[in-house]
Homo-oligomer: A and B are copies of this chain.
Amino acid sequence: MVSAPPKPRSSSGQVPSSRERSLVPVGMATILPHAAKQVRRLEEQLLAQVSRWGYDEIILPTFEYLDVLAPGLEPELIEHCYQFVDRTTGRTLLLRPDATAQIARTVAMGLTGATLPLRLSYRTSVFRYEQEHAGRGREIFQIGAELIGLDDVTSDSEVIDLMIECLHTIGLRSFKVSLGHVGFIKGLLMRSGLSAQGQKFAEQAAARKDLPRLEEILATERISKRAARAIREAPELYGQEEVLARGWVLAAGDPALAAPLERLAQVYQLLCAAGHRESLLLDLGEFRGFDYYDGVVFDVFAEGMGAELGGGGRYDHLIGRFGRPLPSTGFGLDVDRLFRTVEFPEEGSVSARVDYLVAAPRRSARLLTLVAAQLRRTRSRVVQQTMKGGDASLLSAAVTAGLAQQAAALVVVGAPGIDHDDVLVVEPLAAHMHGCRTANLSHLSKKVGLADLVASARRARQQVKER
């Protein structure tokens, strides 16, 4: 499968914390403004798509009691949690390591009401302890959706269809969704006569695609050659329809294997009908890391990103562990990995951070505030600043400030000899400044009536809106 090493991305804005200084814990992200803007835009696009499918966002606490959430977490995950003691109760708290378990707990408590099916979405961080050199994040930004209360094929295909549409929405094209059913390998392992513990170990090895370990387990328990061959073959079975055909041969009429295959085939066909065939890869060895999955499961990978961008699957028994059995399925996406995978359109050198810098000498602070407020009312992005120094250097100081703030245009109010209803404008700022010297500045600025400036700002915003 797609498993090239992750491509370093210089423009990501993620600041890696250097080990020498160790001012910020390894794996914790600092996302600087330029990147933060792109991350937030990604999040908004994803949430808008999810909302269009009728999913509503829920906001859940960042930490909660371990004993309450534990039924929804597998032991290995609990070991990777950040835990601390609640001073009030003495009970152990943990930082949310998984959004799905928390939603399951909330739904089982009845907080989301009785209406089913329930479509919930979330945008949140989850926290997992990782070895310092694992190169993985400890704070993971996720967006996901859960479809609760339905157990049919259409709901399996709905969440995958939605996830793929989410990826299209943000402009991701070359990705593959590997689609499997945990029941297939489980069925093979059960039929082979492995002990319960052997089955568990083998499932874990299968989830990691660790074939040598799988061999070892099969050998230790002296599994028949035929059964071992089938188990060994399953993780290699990925591709298109031919995988299902081979699956039917391995199933050999066993209903415990036929049921997962039939379900998988139906979901695959629905997704192909929805136009997603190119994005799909059937994978009979697909076996998600979380042991709450118990039906159709999936992972999404992209070229150049070694780790999965997200995934999900059916977890019919998870909510039941919290006391209210409800069939469910869902997916989660890793926002930071999406951010590092998506190609953002290059912003031309003319792009400005703000529309206007409004500058004034200190004595004109009131006028400055009023002019800036009028421009903001047109929905323009406006930075205001008073200038130190005398009137002689006012314009050059303002130009310097405007360039530093990456303003598209400069507006100077309160300049000597200029009426209160007029301002000096330099626009476009960056273009005018190429190779100019201070002496030329006064030629570049033009006197404009304040009302005309505001009207032209309004027209400019209107054009942006119409585009």
Contact = CB atoms under 8 A, between A and B. Distances in A.
Interface of A: 15, 22-26, 28-34, 36-37, 39-40, 51-54, 56-65, 68, 82-84, 86-89, 93, 95, 105-106, 109, 111-112, 115-117, 119-120, 125, 127, 129, 131-132, 139, 150, 152-154, 157-158, 161, 269-270, 273-274, 353-354, 362, 365-366, 368-370, 373, 376, 379-386, 404-405
A120 B383 CA distance: 12
Given A37-B56, A56-B36, A68 B23 contact: yes
B386 A52 contact: no
Nearest 10 pairs of A and B residues by beta carbon? A28-B61, A54-B383, A33-B56, A31-B59, A84-B84, A273-B366, A154-B386, A54-B354, A88-B132, A154-B365
A129 B87 contact: yes
Number of chain copies forming the complex? 2
B115 A404 contact: yes
Given A23-B109, A59-B36, A270-B369, A53 B154 contact: no
B88 A26 contact: yes
A382 to B, nearest CB: 6
Contacts of A22: 65, 89
Given A23-B109, A152-B386, A154-B386, A61 B381 contact: no
Given A15-B111, A52-B380, A383-B53, A58 B32 contact: yes
A297 B42 CA distance: 36
Contacts of A40: 57
Contacts of A119: 383
Given A30-B61, A95-B95, A154-B369, 20 more contacts: A23-B105, A24-B65, A25-B63, A25-B64, A33-B120, A34-B56, A36-B57, A39-B59, A52-B381, A53-B384, A54-B381, A62-B95, A63-B139, A82-B84, A83-B84, A158-B384, A270-B365, A270-B369, A274-B366, A274-B373
